[in-house]
Chain A
Amino acid sequence: MNYWLTQLFNGFSYGALIFLLAMGLSLIFGVMQVINVTHGTYFLVGTYIGLSILTWTGNFYLAILGGGLVIALVGIFIERFFLRRLRGNDLGQVLITFGFVLLLQDAILLIWGPDPKLMGEPKSISFTAHIGSFTFPSYRLFVIVVAAAVAAGLWLFENKTKFGSAVRAAVDDVEMASGMGVNVPLVFTVVFGLGSFLAGLGGVLSGPWLGLQYGLDLEILPYAFVVVIVGGMGSLKGAILASLLVGLVDNFGKGFFPDLAYFTLFLPMAVILAVRPQGLFGRTL
């Protein structure tokens, strides 16, 4: 019984972390039709920046916020001066985002070096918790709480604010939205900034849990892609559901079929692609 609870909890918490990474990617793809390959690297660079902020100020929460903000700025810069020039050139956008992956990777090497690093979380959220006979690390619970808060915030944003409805309109149909007076370039920049912010924030959160390792960006990116594909591009509901699914499938897959660990993750994705390419909640292609 305990085993199942533990794995369930692990899957949920990992899914929560993936949600933060994937939601940004999903938004960017849903609104701007851009496959932002740099997203994983935003996540990783965010972690490094968070570490630096933590080292300078000693404040973990400041690091989380700061990491998110700096990455948001980086993302906005790249969107405004590079991606915008390639509107309509799908392939070009993908290639250039990959170019930035390499650039940012080299930046990590130059600024922080190739050594793996560890990040410490505040003692207040770093203990082994017990509920009855069930034990779990409290930090993972913290991640779940943050992710839930972000999801709630996003829901409010999308459904209760004017700008949010502009975003939803853009996801549905960009040309129509433009025709109806939505400032599409502004929406794009804000969405890209928001997506990057989420990636950076998720990155800092992952620091104490996954460690800082050069190369993590491209390892974790496939998970985000699976979520976006399975959940549907641009859909908040889809991203939440798919992230949890991915977390659980990954956990149990690794437990029961270690040989086929990645395959158990990508196969459902391939099935969805074959049967329902727009994902669970995406708009019809």
Chain B
Amino acid sequence: MIFELLRGRGRVAVAVAALVFFAVYPWFASRFMITVLVQCLIMAILAMSLDLMVGYTGMASLGHAAYFGSGAYAAAIVSVTYKASFPEALAVGLIVAVAVTAVFALVALRATGVYFLMITFALAMLIWGLAYRWNSMTGGENGIAGVQRPSFIAGTTTFYYFVLAIAAAVFVFFGVLVRSSFGRTLVGIRESESRMRTLGYNVWLHKYIVFLISGLFSGLAGVLWVFYDSLVAPPLVDLSTSFDALLMVSVGGGGTLVGAVLGAVIVKMLENLVNLVTDRWLTVVALVYITVVLLAPQGIIGLLRDLMARREMNRAALEVAGRANASAGKEGSK
């Protein structure tokens, strides 16, 4: 029954239901849980942008903290040191994130597969090194504190709706993108780069563009995060952020967009709520990583799709067998 829901028009219904759920959430949740959900939504944007590269184009990146962080730091710096307004900080954050992505992508795209992973990781380390040591600009270890939201989104609930609106818009935009011919080309590249090349597609350009888009929206997530937390510091730009993003995509299921959102919600919920129950949150998160990778490499959505496909096959097989039986029965009862 669940599976019927996930097909065709059922999907839209589920999406609308989810949106409604998110929309009425603040009415019955505590202030604390609202802030947790804000985290989930912002990270969903990061996860979706990563999914574009990892799930749809097959470019697994270990360095998305770089673009997330560039956006975050740029916005924080102009907002606090130069007293920029929110729109200005947002713009600067996005521009810096894209600029960093544009340069890094040129370097990283010289490699593929495991080497690509390595290089994206190394480049993210570069940004981390800057954040950590360039004291005059980034505040070094202290980071930059005191980022203020403009009054129209200063409240917990108003900011929540603001982020929800942006996340929903991003979801729709990506949804349209992956169903367009550009999106289908990306999937083609994921399946076989050489085939796409022989078919005449400019594979490098496609990869570069998707990289840029991914970097832009990661930067957007970074800017939103800075205004949520009013603070940016080196731990936000380190290894664990890149890994977290990958984990979200993997847990939810790569190449499905909705998986990225689901993964983000699950991972952020875990991170916030596990240590209410136990001190061993490190082990819990570790077990999640390991279990997901080993048992559900396609993530939760992938798992559900697998099961749907299996039921389809079973049903089709039963039909065929039924018809065969019926005709055999007709013959047999002669």
Chain A interfacial positions (CB closer than 8 Å to B)? 29, 33-35, 37, 82, 85-86, 89-92, 94-96, 98-103, 105-106, 109-110, 218, 221-222, 225-226, 228-229, 258-263, 265-267, 269-270, 273-274, 277, 285
Contact = CB atoms under 8 A, between A and B. Distances in A.
B54 interface: yes
B129 A99 contact: no
B317 interface: no
A177 B123 CA distance: 32
Given A95-B246, A106-B283, A225 B125 contact: yes
B293 A99 contact: yes
Contacts of B132: 262
A100 B286 contact: yes
Interface in B124-144: 125-126, 128-130, 132-136
Given A29-B118, A35-B62, A96-B290, 4 more contacts: A98-B289, A229-B122, A259-B135, A266-B125
A150 B37 CA distance: 52
A259 B134 contact: yes
B92 interface: no
Contacts of B285: 102
Contact of B111 (A99, A259, A277): A277
Contacts of A274: 106-107, 110
B122 A86 contact: no
A246 to B, nearest CB: 13
Given A266-B129, A267-B126, A285-B115, A277 B297 contact: no
8 contacts: A82-B290, A95-B246, A106-B280, A109-B282, A221-B239, A229-B118, A262-B129, A262-B133
B153 interface: no
Interface in B233-250: 238-239, 243, 246-247, 250
Given A222-B125, A266-B126, A90 B133 contact: no
A285 B60 CA distance: 17
B293 A96 contact: yes
Report the contact-size class of chain B (Cβ under 8 Å from the partner). Answer: 35 or more
A225 B289 contact: no
Nearest to B62: A94
Please give me the 7 A-B residue pairs with the lowest Cβ-Cβ distance, nearest first: A262-B129, A99-B289, A102-B286, A106-B282, A103-B286, A99-B290, A91-B60
A103 B297 contact: no
B294 to A, nearest CB: 7
A260 B133 contact: yes
Interface in B313-332: none
B33 interface: no
A229 B280 CA distance: 34
B283 A103 contact: yes
Contacts of A285: 110-111, 115
Nearest to B112: A285
A94 B122 contact: no
Contacts of A100: 286, 290
B114 interface: yes
A118 B123 CA distance: 34
Contacts of B280: 106, 110
A91 B134 CA distance: 32
Contacts of B250: 91-92, 95
Given A96-B293, A270-B126, A225 B117 contact: no
B194 to A, nearest CB: 16
A92 B118 CA distance: 14
B289 A102 contact: yes
B262 interface: no
Contacts of A222: 125
B121 interface: yes
Nearest to B239: A218
Given A102-B285, A270-B126, A273-B119, A92 B293 contact: yes
A269 B63 CA distance: 15
A90 B60 CA distance: 9
Contacts of B290: 82, 96, 99-100, 103
Nearest to B135: A259
A35 B114 contact: yes
